[in-house]
Structure 1
């Protein structure tokens, strides 16, 4: 179970840092106003479009990745063990 925790935590950290970096670049119009949640600018270049596409992807990967390793995989492992015990 420790390896699932480490994988989920790694996903959380890496995706979270990526999301915070992109949100800081594209969704922080000024430091006096809203930060990380402002309106996105118009995509001027291909790199801006890629960054604006990756931002929500990283956000949801940051949320769903750890939940998968911390909740869903242990539930399926316990269910499989329970099923194996009942089958014997």
Structure 2
């Protein structure tokens, strides 16, 4: 029973971590791809991505706005994937 619960918890945490990274990557794709910033989908993704970027949002400040989003939000996505990996490892080890 315990291993089953640990498996479910690990799966849920895995999906959450992946979803956080995907939001950031979609924001990068929409921005670099030149999506209409007034579109409701673009605004929603941007609004979700902003707090997920944490301190990475302004880590690098190149003049090109698209490059800034690519680098900073891309690093934030990699950060969330690394956190996901560490959390999953910890949950499985404790379980």
Q: What TM-score comes out, normalization by structure 1 length?
A: 0.48
Structure with max Cα Rg: 1
Pick the structure with more helix per residue. 2
Q: What TM-score comes out, normalization by structure 2 length?
A: 0.45
